[in-house]
Amino acid sequence: MPNDDLYAVIMAGGSGTRFWPASRVARPKQFLPIAGERAMIAATCDRLEGLVDLDRVLVVTSGELAGQVSECLPDLPRENVLVEPIGRNTAPCVALAALEIERRSPNSVHLVLPADHVIEPATRFRESLAAAVDEARRDSRLVTLGVRPTFPATGYGYIEVGEELARHGDLPAHRVERFVEKPDAERAEAFVASGNFLWNAGIFIWETQSVLASLREHAPGIVQPLADAGRATGLEDLYPTLPALPVDVAVMESATNRSVLPIDYGWNDVGAWTSLPDVTPADAAGNCAAGGGRLMTEGASGNIVYGEDGQLTALIGVDDLVVVRAGDAVLVCPKDRAQDVKRIVERLRDEGPEFL
Amino acid sequence: MPNDDLYAVIMAGGSGTRFWPASRVARPKQFLPIAGERAMIAATCDRLEGLVDLDRVLVVTSGELAGQVSECLPDLPRENVLVEPIGRNTAPCVALAALEIERRSPNSVHLVLPADHVIEPATRFRESLAAAVDEARRDSRLVTLGVRPTFPATGYGYIEVGEELARHGDLPAHRVERFVEKPDAERAEAFVASGNFLWNAGIFIWETQSVLASLREHAPGIVQPLADAGRATGLEDLYPTLPALPVDVAVMESATNRSVLPIDYGWNDVGAWTSLPDVTPADAAGNCAAGGGRLMTEGASGNIVYGEDGQLTALIGVDDLVVVRAGDAVLVCPKDRAQDVKRIVERLRDEGPEFL
């Protein structure tokens, strides 16, 4: 049964170029069915079912994207969409949401979740979150989930795990020794080999009062002006003056009452087209299709395909390509060139902004 | 100055699968800008400019496609679109058009042209046609243009060239020795080596009375019922009973008063996606774009791309692919697999007729 004092904050202000042309300035990844049939933000809410009701879910996004939040989450109360005038990284977002939740329920606990990750199975994720809530209540700790690394990634920050502090059911909560920025390959290897490091997944669980206290202590320049401004009043002028810091840096790196619960099931931040095979079932020839379109192949294997509902992609005799058809654009590239999508996006700023 | 007694018949009833997904059942190749910026049928009319005015151009097509003829040729008089209830190859089409032209101008000469070929330069083509008109007037001959072969094609019929009969300006007209069906590779090699064979391009020039006389002699089962039925009256019941014969077989193979004028400039029947580089300028890396869409490449070469107006295709690091984005479908295949488009089309009959 959902806990009346448990809220969730979904950070949905992000924009990116790595999923162009499916993601556009006006429709970033979190609003697309990149993995599964539902928009990623809707899947993020689905994953909380039974733990947090939709009327206690707040979504933080930009003014431009607010309409799409409502489109993807038609049952979300309008007043649960918090609009940031401009994105200033996650610390102002977290502070804004914490202040709003404090107004609604001062003694609540809340979760902070990115809108565009895949975490499976949802039942285990909810168990982890429930344990994290218990840990957050225990001595008002700032809790994060850390993902057991499956390879020496250099694209994620790491969390060094300290002693076990408590168990919640079967799930241990550990002290956080330190947060580490994205390492080089050698350090990443060492981290993974040590067994003492987890990936920082940007998922946080804390009492509303506890995170606000930490923000006041470690990031007063963010939380105080926001508290003074009040919700949606004067934010236009204020936001550009706030430090653009990640909450990890603004709060977690300095706090001392930090706990981490390891996740050793499926987590994926779906960072590029090449992540699709990790989060999408493939056909017998290893072709992965997402986006809701149809795929028909003749002697084609290992391809990653995105097409929209009602669209058909036909592949004949091609292997290991990324083929995306979305709106008014098509992208074709080998999987190992998928990162060069950003070059096309850069050129489009001058040569074809209507396609961005 | 256009000749008042010169008409043109454009055969535009064809359908095909080789340009799927650009060409569909409801929109075959002749209505698409496969080569150049204009629909192929419009380019075919453009090519006649100064020789045949649009009000003396008749287009023969099916009922389903008549609307698209008007769309592509908005200035074509409505009464110049002749509708065949069903396609019965080219002999009934030629007879139907000849009978209609006879009603309008009994002593006319007319050209018969496929709607979906590329012939360049247009000035030279008009010179050839004008010479062919002179040849047709000379002793009421049935004239065809034959294309000087550039390789031993097995996909075309051939015309064996006989003695020179006359010259019209610089252009010689030869007796036709015989029409030869598509040969095997060995015969094709011999034909080309001999220097005496031309490709049959399906282009005919004749007096209206002359072709009608030949039809009455060699294909009475086609022309007589059509003459009795009258234009667009009773065609529904009649057409399915007509022999489905090419005009080459029904008339030209049997006639004796046959002349051929060689063409040794650019002719292309644009038979498949892989024909595009022959009729479309390529960029410095050998990428050919057609259809009116935009192409942006990063390290991509030798590709054939079709996209519609207002669409963007972005290719990164891929070579020698065919990439087509048209309507609700995308096709990606290596150039050397382009003929397998038909396999997709066959499967779609059962699995996705809405995409045909």
Whole-number average pLDDT of chain A = 95
Binning pLDDT at 50, 70 and 90, where does residue A234 land?
Answer: confident
- Can you give the pLDDT at residue B3? 73
Give per-residue pLDDT as tens, A66-107: 999 999 999 999 999 999 999 999 999 999 999 999 999 999
- Can you give the pLDDT at residue B1? 45
Q: Where are the domains of chain A?
A: 6-268, 273-355
Tell me the backbone φ, ψ of residue B204, rounded to 5 degrees. Answer: -130, 150
- Can you give the pLDDT at residue B16? 84
- Can you give the pLDDT at residue A1? 45
- CA distance to partner chain A, nearest, from residue B331 (Å): 5
Q: Is the pLDDT of residue A233 over 80?
A: no
- CA distance to partner chain A, nearest, from residue B345 (Å): 10
**CA distances (Å), origin A59, targets A14, A91, A96, A171, A249:** 12, 15, 11, 28, 22
Q: Which residues of A189-215 are buried (b: 16+ CB within 10 A; e: fewer)?
A: eebbeeeebbbbbbbbbbbbebbbbbb
Q: Which of A26, A355, A356 is nearest to B312 (CA)?
A: A355
- Can you give the pLDDT at residue B2? 60
- Can you give the pLDDT at residue A15? 87
Q: How far apart are CA B15 and CA A127, in angstroms?
A: 60
- CA distance to partner chain A, nearest, from residue B279 (Å): 23
Give per-residue pLDDT as tens, A99-156: 999 999 999 999 999 999 999 999 999 999 999 999 999 999 999 999 999 999 999 9
Do B131 and B124 form a contact (C-beta atoms < 8 A)? no
The interface predicted TM-score of the complex, written ipTM, equals 0.91
Q: Give the mean model confidence (pLDDT) for residues A15-31.
A: 93
What is the DSSP secondary-structure string of A103-146? HH-TT-EEEEEETT-EEE-HHHHHHHHHHHHHHHHTTT-EEEEE
Give per-residue pLDDT as tens, A181-209: 999 999 999 999 999 999 999 999 999 99
Q: Residue B135's CB: how many other CB atoms inside 10 A?
A: 25
Q: Is the pLDDT of residue A231 over 60?
A: no
- Can you give the pLDDT at residue B162? 98
Do A44 and A10 form a contact (C-beta atoms < 8 A)? yes
Which residues of chain B are at the A interface, by a Cβ-Cβ cutoff of 8 Å? 21, 294, 296, 298-299, 307, 310-318, 321, 323, 325, 328-334, 337, 340-341, 343-344, 347-348, 351-352, 355
Residue that is written with structure tokens 């009973």 in the block: B241
Q: Is the pLDDT of residue A232 over 80?
A: no
Q: Which of A233, A231, A207 is nearest to A138 (CA)?
A: A207
Tell me the backbone φ, ψ of residue A152, rounded to 5 degrees. Answer: -75, 70
Using CB atoms, which residue from B21, B315, B337 is nearest to A332?
B315
Q: Do A314 and B351 touch (CB under 8 A)?
A: no
Instruction: Pick from A305, A316, A322 the residue to mutate for testing the B interface (most B CBs within 10 Å).
Output: A316
- Can you give the pLDDT at residue B70? 95
Using CB atoms, which residue from B298, B332, B352 is nearest to A321?
B332
Average pLDDT per block of 10 residues along chain B, 356 residues long: 84 92 94 93 97 97 95 97 95 97 97 97 98 97 98 96 97 97 97 97 98 98 91 81 95 96 96 94 97 97 97 98 97 97 96 96
- Can you give the pLDDT at residue A2? 60
Residue that is written with structure tokens 């489109």 in the block: A71
Q: What residue in A sits closest to B297 (Cα-Cα)?
A: A344
Q: Give the mean model confidence (pLDDT) for residues A280-298.
A: 96
CATH fold of B6-268, please?
A: Spore Coat Polysaccharide Biosynthesis Protein SpsA; Chain A (3.90.550)
Which residues of chain A are at the B interface, by a Cβ-Cβ cutoff of 8 Å? 21, 294, 296, 298-299, 307, 310-318, 321, 323, 325, 328-334, 337, 340-341, 343-344, 347-348, 351-352, 355
Using CB atoms, which residue from A307, A314, A352 is nearest to B312?
A352
